[in-house]
Every structure is written in C-alpha cells, then in structure tokens.
C-alpha cells in the first residue's frame, strides 16, 4: 500500500450526547463520558466504494478505505476472513443455512486484530508516543503486534490468569507486560490511574474511537460474502461489545450508501453464565447493565463484568429484534469439541459459545430452519491450550 488511502472521515461524534470533535484531535471519551464514533462523508464514499471498485481491491479490511479512518494504515493483512457453510453442525440442530465466520484466521489469531489495527494506525498518524491497554488476552496480543510494526512502545496490563499464549505473544512483540491479580476491570483501573503521569495513550475498549471502525468491517464483509445480502441472524460472543456496536454502526452506513435498505439481521449476544451482564439486563428490559459480581468463565474474552458501551449493545439487540443467551462453561467446552469434530474448526471457547446459543434458539424455534445464521468464531483455538486441555480431559 504505497498510495495514501481515500478516507472520507469528517469528525467524531459522541454516541450519547452527540457533541462533535475534530478527528484530527487525539481524544478518548467525550467530555460527558460517552464513547465517540467516527463519522464520514457517506455521499462522497458512496461514489467510489462500489461493488465494481471492490473487485480489484486488496483482500484486507482496508478494501473499505472510504469508510475507515486512516490514510496510511499499519497492516498485517487483517480481515476478509472466510465464511464457512457448517453443514454437519447445522444438520445437528435442524438448520440448513448455518455459517461460521472464522475470525481466528486474523493476524494474532483473533478479530481483535481488526480493531487494534485501526486504533494503532490512527495513533501513529496523531503522533502517539506510548500506547496502553488492559486486556483479557487477545486485545493485548493484537495491540502489541501492530505497535511493533508501527514502532510505538506499548504497555499491556492483563489478569495473572490470562491464557499463557497471550502473555507470550505480547512479550515476543516487545510489549511491557504487567500482570495483576484481578479482572480486566482492575487492569483498566490500573491503566486509567497511571496513564497521565506516564504519558500513555489508552486504547481500552470504546475509550478510543477507532477500534469500533476496524471491527465494523465484519459487517461489510458479510454483505459481500452473501452476495449483496445480509444474514437473518448474527450470533456474537459479547464481552465489551465492540463488534456488536461496530456492525450495527456499519449497517447504518451501508444503508446511507444504498447498499442495503432498512432491513437488519437479528443480533444475538451470547455470554458465559459466569459473566452475563448484558443477558441479564436484556432479560430485565433495562437499558444499561450493572457491574457483574465475581465474573468467572473459561472464555476469557467474555470475562468483562462491566461494558462501557452496554447501552449501545442493548440498543442493537432490541432495535434488531434480537436476543441474548447465556452458556455455561460446560456447554461451551462441549460445543467447542463438537465444532472441531464436525467442521474442522479449532475455535476459541468464545466461538464455541455461539454454537450453544444457536442450538438453544433453534430448539425454541426462535431461529427457523431456513434462516441464514452466522456464528462468529472470534478467536483461534491454538491460543487456548488451557481451555482445550479441560475440554478434552475426559475424552
Ligand atoms: C475480545 C473477545 C471477544 C469479545 O469481543 P467484544 O467485541 O469486545 O465484545 C470475544 N471473543 C474473543 C476471542 C475475544 O478476544
């Protein structure tokens, strides 16, 4: 990529109070505390971001350059992951159009690559000196990789019981890794308390505007991969909810560009029973989710007791007529094995959780036999030796 990309970004806008900021300013949250969203000149974007043009573009997420924020991205080839027709798994739950988008094939083995790629690209353009993030595992690995390529030092704060692979990759990429006894929320506190005196720019989930931009490309890809249509149902393992919020934002932009009409896939959040704040809030019909006490699950990416964008996740679920489902660790491990044995996909437990939700919703007839359903396998099983060891213990 030698030619600068043609972004049509115009400004940042608060998702809560709608206050705007220049996108040329380095900013975390809005002054009101709401997450900021990037806005684009979609009339201009529409003219050049066409199906015709897409034919000759690179098979990375940067093929959607008009609606991405960076001119000169730091890239490792992220995006355009395959959508696989899961025929045998689908048949086992009476579904003929069950698909898996395998995000485990991204650089650093998870879809966190998309978000951190966009965040680091912008951070470099805006002159950031040191990057920092709390992580449940994969965000740290992705940040460390892109920061390495960008030549920007980074600090990564993770719970002491994060999967070993995540710590190893961060250290290999040269990051300053700090382990804390606690949850990702405690790691978040550590970053927030130490950033000012150390001059760190934090790229914590939703506390900077561009991770959402990277993750929204999953929705644009689905539209291309389903030949200009969207699936009926999307099942997404939700931690901080960046992907849910990102895809929901993408649908709005796609409608504004004339790619789709007002139709939307039904958005399903799946969480682990040991940490299910969004499921609980959805069932109670409230629009924010309180801190989940004693969060515990083998699906480390879902161990997010409090999501700063909870109201945006819940909005996407309810506006799309979606739903929210919890899965126990036992169910998650069993379906992860089933996914591997039936489809040859070695998934992260978070990916396994989507299979639990699909089966429960098919049993309830919430998903109909011919619905097109996409499950997101958000990470690669090779990073989860501890979880897989547990899954295979008695087999
Ligand atoms: C981070 C992570 C999630 C949760 O993603 P959000 O978009 O923040 O909800 C799910 N699965 C894996 C493997 C992750 O690393």
Chosen domain end from 138, 168, 202: 202
Chosen domain end from 181, 202, 223: 202
What pLDDT score was predicted for residue 76? 98
**CA-based Rg of the chain, rounded to a whole angstrom?**
19
Which atom of ligand 1 is nearest the CA belonging to 205? 8
What pLDDT score was predicted for residue 323? 98
Whether residue 296 sits in one domain with residue 226: yes
What pLDDT score was predicted for residue 321? 98
What pLDDT score was predicted for residue 183? 87
Whether residue 91 sits in one domain with residue 55: no
What pLDDT score was predicted for residue 3? 86
Contacts for 197 with CB less than 8 Å, ≥ 6 apart? none
The domain of 124 spans 112-202
Distance CA 123, CA 26 (A): 8
Whether residue 157 sits in one domain with residue 131: yes
Which atom of ligand 1 is nearest the CA belonging to 350? 11
**Torsion angle (degrees, nearest 10) of CA 131, 144, 174, 135:** 80
**Torsion angle (degrees, nearest 10) of CA 40, 319, 347, 327:** 150
Whether residue 357 sits in one domain with residue 228: yes
Which atom of ligand 1 is nearest the CA belonging to 245? 7
Whether residue 353 sits in one domain with residue 224: yes
- How many angstroms does the Cα of residue 345 sit away from the middle of ligand 1? 18
Instruction: Answer yes or no: is 75 within a domain.
Output: no
Burial class (CB in 10 A: 0-12, 13-18, 19+), 125: middle
**pTM summary value:** 0.97
Q: Work out the angle at residue 318's Cα, subtended by the Cα atoms of residues 317 and 322, and round it to the nearest 5 degrees.
A: 55
- Residue nearest to ligand 1 atom 14, measured at CA: 301
Mutate which of 143, 247, 379 for ligand 1 pocket (most atoms within 8 A of beta carbon): 379
Chosen domain end from 152, 183, 202: 202
What pLDDT score was predicted for residue 166? 96
Whether residue 123 sits in one domain with residue 98: no
Closest residue by Cα to residue 68 from 111, 132, 149, 4: 4
Whether residue 284 sits in one domain with residue 146: no
Distance CA 287, CA 136 (A): 25
- How many angstroms does the Cα of residue 347 sit away from the middle of ligand 1? 13
Instruction: Answer yes or no: is 116 within a domain.
Output: yes
What pLDDT score was predicted for residue 38? 98
Instruction: Answer yes or no: is 322 within a domain.
Output: yes
Mutate which of 170, 208, 239 for ligand 1 pocket (most atoms within 8 A of beta carbon): 239
Q: Work out the angle at residue 311's Cα, subtended by the Cα atoms of residues 19 and 347, and round it to the nearest 5 degrees.
A: 120
Instruction: Answer yes or no: is 186 within a domain.
Output: yes
- Residue nearest to ligand 1 atom 5, measured at CA: 239
Closest residue by Cα to residue 111 from 300, 243, 250, 267: 243
What pLDDT score was predicted for residue 334? 97
Instruction: Answer yes or no: is 4 within a domain.
Output: no
How many structural domains does the chain have? 3
Which atom of ligand 1 is nearest the CA belonging to 138? 15
- How many angstroms does the Cα of residue 48 sit away from the middle of ligand 1? 32
Whether residue 265 sits in one domain with residue 345: yes
Instruction: Answer yes or no: is 181 within a domain.
Output: yes
* Helices (runs of H) and strands (runs of E) counted in the chain: 14, 13
Whether residue 255 sits in one domain with residue 187: no
User: In tens digits, what is the pLDDT along the chain, a chain of 395 residues?
Assistant: 568 999 999 999 999 999 999 999 999 999 999 999 999 999 999 999 999 999 999 999 999 999 999 999 999 999 999 999 999 999 999 999 999 999 999 999 999 999 999 999 999 999 999 999 999 899 999 999 999 999 999 999 999 999 899 999 999 999 999 999 998 889 999 999 999 999 999 999 999 999 999 999 999 999 999 999 999 999 999 999 999 999 999 999 999 999 999 999 999 999 999 999 999 999 999 999 999 999 999 999 999 999 999 999 999 999 999 999 999 999 999 999 999 999 999 999 999 999 999 999 999 999 999 999 999 999 999 999 999 999 999 77
Whether residue 141 sits in one domain with residue 89: no
Burial class (CB in 10 A: 0-12, 13-18, 19+), 368: middle
Whether residue 328 sits in one domain with residue 233: yes
- How many angstroms does the Cα of residue 334 sit away from the middle of ligand 1? 20
Instruction: Answer yes or no: is 72 within a domain.
Output: no
* C-beta atoms surrounding 164 within 10 Å: 13
Whether residue 161 sits in one domain with residue 219: no
Residues 289 and 314 sit within 8 Å (Cβ to Cβ): yes
- How many angstroms does the Cα of residue 302 sit away from the middle of ligand 1? 6
Quote the distance between the C-alpha of residue 350 and its chain's center. Answer: 11
Distance CA 141, CA 263 (A): 36
- How many angstroms does the Cα of residue 301 sit away from the middle of ligand 1? 5
What pLDDT score was predicted for residue 394? 72
- How many angstroms does the Cα of residue 237 sit away from the middle of ligand 1? 7
Instruction: Answer yes or no: is 39 within a domain.
Output: yes
Q: What is the CATH number of the domain that holds 123?
A: 3.40.50.1100
Binding pocket residue ranges, ligand 1, CB within 6 Å: 110, 112, 138, 205, 237-243, 301, 348, 350, 378-379
- Residue nearest to ligand 1 atom 6, measured at CA: 241
């Amino acid at each position: 990529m030698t030619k600068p990309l043609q972004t049509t970004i115009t400004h940042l806008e608060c998702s809560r109070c709608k206050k705007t900021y220049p996108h040329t300013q380095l900013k975390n949250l809005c002054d009101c505390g709401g997450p900021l969203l990037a806005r684009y000149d979609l009339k201009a974007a529409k003219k050049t971001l066409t199906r015709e043009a897409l034919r000759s573009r690179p098979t990375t997420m940067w093929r959607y350059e008009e609606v991405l924020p960076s001119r000169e991205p730091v890239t490792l080839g992220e995006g355009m992951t395959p959508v696989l027709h899961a025929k045998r798994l689908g048949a086992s739950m009476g579904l003929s159009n069950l698909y898996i988008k395998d995000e485990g094939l991204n650089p650093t083995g998870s879809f966190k690559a998309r978000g951190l790629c966009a965040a680091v690209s912008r951070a470099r353009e805006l002159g950031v000196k040191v990057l920092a993030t709390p992580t449940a595992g994969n965000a740290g690995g992705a940040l460390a990789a892109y920061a390495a390529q960008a030549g920007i030092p980074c600090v990564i704060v993770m719970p002491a019981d994060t999967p070993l692979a995540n710590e190893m990759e961060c250290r290999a990429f040269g990051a300053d890794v700090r382990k804390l006894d606690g949850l990702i929320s405690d790691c978040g506190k550590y970053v927030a308390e130490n950033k000012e005196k150390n001059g760190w720019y934090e790229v914590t989930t939703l506390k900077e505007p561009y991770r959402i931009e990277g993750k929204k490309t999953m929705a644009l890809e689905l539209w291309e991969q389903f030949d200009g249509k969207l699936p009926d149902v999307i099942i997404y393992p939700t931690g901080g909810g960046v992907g849910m919020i990102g895809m929901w934002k993408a649908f709005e932009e796609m409608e504004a560009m004339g790619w789709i009409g007002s139709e939307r896939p039904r958005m399903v959040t799946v969480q682990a029973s040991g940490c299910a704040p969004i499921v609980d809030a959805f069932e109670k019909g409230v629009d924010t989710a309180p801190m989940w006490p004693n969060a515990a699950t083998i699906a480390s990416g879902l161990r997010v007791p409090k999501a700063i964008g909870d109201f945006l996740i819940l909005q996407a679920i309810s506006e799309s007529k979606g739903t929210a489902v919890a899965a126990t660790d036992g169910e998650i491990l069993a379906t992860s094995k089933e996914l591997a044995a039936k489809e040859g996909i070695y998934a992260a437990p978070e990916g396994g959780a989507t299979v639990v939700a699909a089966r429960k919703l098919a049993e309830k007839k919430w998903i109909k036999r011919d619905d097109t359903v996409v499950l997101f396998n958000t990470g690669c099983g090779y990073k989860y030796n501890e979880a897989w060891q547990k899954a295979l213990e008695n087999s």
